[in-house]
Amino acid sequence: MGRSLARRAFGTRGGPMKSRIGIGYDVHRFAGGRALVLGGVTVPHTLGLVGHSDADALTHAVMDAILGALALGDVGTHFPDADPAYKGARSVKLLARVVAMASERGYVVGNVDATVITEVPKLAPHARAIAAGLAAALSVDASAVSVKAKTHEKLGSLGRGEGLAAMAVVLMEPREGA
């Protein structure tokens, strides 16, 4: 086994690596008079998402995945919607703070796989820009972030176009030298 492969399999301290996996989910309803922000990118649409911050459901799901992987609670624990400091906050800036929390604990993001569930707007034309926005906030290469879009097949509130949901899975890896 090559040295770098052995390091990935067994870690730098000789014991098994302590990679951690987290899952995040968020949902917001649509409303007029707001921008639709996903992964820090403003997506052209007639409606935006309702929330205390910019209501970036995708970024919230990624934040929850990271926090969950490290057993640090959830977005509401760290950035409560009752706190006026977060009114209108850019979620990608909060994501950068979550990444800093992870780094303080010796972890970095390995990769993110995310799915946005919505009937409208069509997100495929924006997926690369959204992935790049998340990658920048996560301090990782864009190749480490996957963003996909699915419909809800006209079922339920999401299928009626009343809102949007996002799911994310993240792999957190020990930071080199940690």
pLDDT tens digits along 73-105: 999 999 999 999 999 999 999 999 999 999 999
Round to whole Å and give the CA distance between 134 and 68: 18
Token pair, residue 114, equals 């995310």
**Could you list the residue range(s) of the whole structural domain that residue 163 is in?**
19-174
Helix (H, G, I), strand (E, B) or coil at 9: helix
| Residue 5 domain flag | no
**pLDDT, tens digit, for every residue of 12-55?**
555 555 999 999 999 999 999 999 999 999 999 999 999 999 99
How many domains are there within the chain?
A: 1
| Residue 10 domain flag | no
| The model scores a pTM over 0.85 | yes
CA distances from 24 to 45, 70, 170 (A): 24, 12, 8
| Residue 9 domain flag | no
| Residue 4 domain flag | no
